[in-house]
Amino acid sequence: MHKYLATFKIEFIHFLEYRSEFIAELLAIVVQLTFSAFIALAFYEHKSSIYGYTLDGFITYTLISVVINRIVDTDVNWVMTHQIRKGDLANILVKPFSYNWYRLFAELSWKSHSIFYSFTAIGLISLFYTKYFTLGIILTRIPLFMLAMVISYFLNRAFKYLIGCLAFWTKDTGGISNFVNEVISILSGKWLPLDFFGSLAKYMKLLPFSYIFYFPIQILLSENLTFADILRILVIEVLWTALFTFIGKYFWKKGLKQFEAVGI
């Protein structure tokens, strides 16, 4: 375990060397939240509720979505593609640790920065826009929400890891990754609550991607959910994560058998 903790520490220090990234990341989040708030205000100008969401509810959903994105976001597919295409993976495979665990701790290092930026940005936004909305969250469900977030991260990562494994055969998954990111953004409820898709919503909620954003947010916002409903959401999240993890390991083992570290 100390090898992976050392990786975390090295990556954490490396990120601190680029302090301009802090300002850029913080400004990006503030701008995103500001535009989202103004769009919501225009959207609800003549309406009190849309698909069951009030203005406060919609803005709260947007704010939580930004935080979730920083928690569940992963670049494992991009890193795997680069290392497989360039042949750098060969240097890592000969080292005495698991590639997957190595990448996980390296990723958690920069993610700790990103999550901090998100909460800082939301704090700044809340100071200026509290007269427009109130955060309607169920405080007693925060622990269950955080648990759902951890599972959502591993669900998203397991799926992206599977996409990264495709580089063993395609050599470049850039196009596939971009397409997958856009599809997941829509089907997961990252941009809009799935309820806004009308009759399609009931089908979208059956897909694994809805457990990355939509259902975790509902745990924090929906008073209609019972404890049994929340437990069901968590169990389904775990099952989807286990499935993608199993498939990813299979593709990893198959891909390694034909991997050639020639580089490009």
- Amino acid code (one letter) for 162: L
pLDDT for res 74: 86
Which residue carries 């990103």 as its tokens?
A: 114
Total residue length of the chain:
264
Per-residue pLDDT of 102-122, as tens digits, reads 777 777 776 766 666 666 666
Q: Measure Cα distances from 219 to 31, 115, 164, 184, 226 in Å.
A: 27, 20, 30, 20, 9
Q: Which two three-digit tokens encode residue 247?
A: 């498939």
Beta bridge partners of 50: 53
Comparing CA positions, the residue from 181, 154, 163, 164 lying closest to residue 237 is 154
Q: Which two three-digit tokens encode residue 185?
A: 């953004």
Per-residue pLDDT of 235-256, as tens digits, reads 999 999 999 999 999 998 888 8
Task: Tell me the pTM.
Answer: 0.83
pLDDT for res 234: 95
Contact, 71 vs 149, CB < 8 A?
yes
For 52, residues 6+ apart whose C-beta sits below 8 A from its C-beta are 195
pLDDT for res 122: 63
pLDDT for res 242: 96
Which residues of the chain are under the pLDDT cut of 50? none
Planar angle of CA 129, 63, 34, nearest 5 degrees: 45
Beta bridge partners of 53: 50
**What is Dmax (Cα atoms) for the chain?**
63
pLDDT for res 2: 61
- Amino acid code (one letter) for 214: Y
pLDDT for res 14: 60
Domain boundaries, the chain: 2-256
CB environment 107-134: b (16+ within 10 A), e (fewer): bebbbebbeebbeebbeebeeebeeebe
Contact, 251 vs 166, CB < 8 A?
yes
